Homo-oligomer: A and B are copies of this chain.
């Protein structure tokens, strides 16, 4: 744990490797590679598409070893998916869990093309005893003393929209996004979207690997580090604002000219479509509803929202709050837990409206 204003060099080393979405890039419906957030646990593996093999083993009738050409020969689908790191907001928690120090920008929304996982599992034939699918990436490293390949599992039956993706935004995956193959699990936080996917194993008992049973758990009792916690799964709702005006380089403080303008941004939830985005320009004292673009039933994309604003000179604190169709919304105060997961508390953008600088 660290105090809020003392980021360590270890955290900085992660922050200079990985990166978030510059908030002005919320303007793009589809996030270009290099602007979409990325978190790589270990090293980006050196991978060649020509000799990549995906193995399907365990509780299946027929074990499979599939090349990329094998996968590309199957019917493909494209999903537009918002993806967010479970640790987004971590660096604003007090005390601060020490890990990748995200503020609020660990998100992106890309188009992923690949083969429905169900298609491949039907080829292999899942045995009745199977309860979970375990996904293994080619990235290898150590976490809290545990040497491991990155592994995560999903319970069976799997949602129909889970993808084996070989393309992002219509191009082969960038290396940092899992080239040549990654799992896409719409609605779930990023840890489930296993990159550099090389193995799928059907198991008859729940997977207890590090990333499943130790990391990515909600443990909210500060006095009980042995709390087994609850699993991190779907994305909690969040709304973010395209920062108005222009920034100061160092502080990112915003300056805006007086007069009519539009406040706009994106909102999303892994539990369902966003039903409502409320906006405040006075730090949450008063709110009004923004116009939210509806989400098609089959979409997993973020949703655009906008509202008009006509500021006079002064200092404003702008906040947006998202609520999804299940009634999930954003808390005022950060929900603390040992891992620093799912801090979707309200984000405030300070704007100085002035005719001159």
Contact = CB atoms under 8 A, between A and B. Distances in A.
Contacts of A255: 142, 147
B249 A103 contact: no
B99 A250 contact: yes
A41 interface: yes
Q: Is the interface of A mostly helix, strand, loop or mixed?
A: loop
Interface string A83-108: 00000000100000011011101100
A91 B44 contact: no
A44 B28 CA distance: 12
Given A99-B250, A247-B141, A44 B22 contact: yes
Contact of A42 (B18, B19, B42, B247): B247
A231 to B, nearest CB: 19
Interface string A1-35: 00011111111111111111010110110001111
Given A25-B175, A33-B34, A43-B243, A16 B19 contact: yes
A246 interface: yes
Interface string A132-156: 0000000011111101000000000
Considering residues A9, A140, A255, which has the most beta carbons from chain B within 10 angstroms of its beta carbon?
A: A9
Contacts of A307: none
Considering residues A8, A42, A102, A250, which has the most beta carbons from chain B within 10 angstroms of its beta carbon?
A: A250
A147 B357 contact: yes
A240 to B, nearest CB: 13
A291 interface: no
A176 interface: yes
A40 B46 CA distance: 28
Contact of A250 (B10, B27, B91, B177): B10
16 contacts: A4-B9, A7-B7, A7-B12, A9-B91, A12-B12, A12-B101, A14-B252, A15-B15, A17-B19, A27-B46, A32-B176, A33-B34, A42-B246, A140-B246, A143-B248, A143-B250
Given A5-B8, A14-B252, 13 more contacts: A4-B9, A6-B7, A7-B7, A7-B12, A11-B12, A22-B43, A24-B43, A25-B44, A28-B175, A32-B174, A41-B249, A42-B249, A141-B249
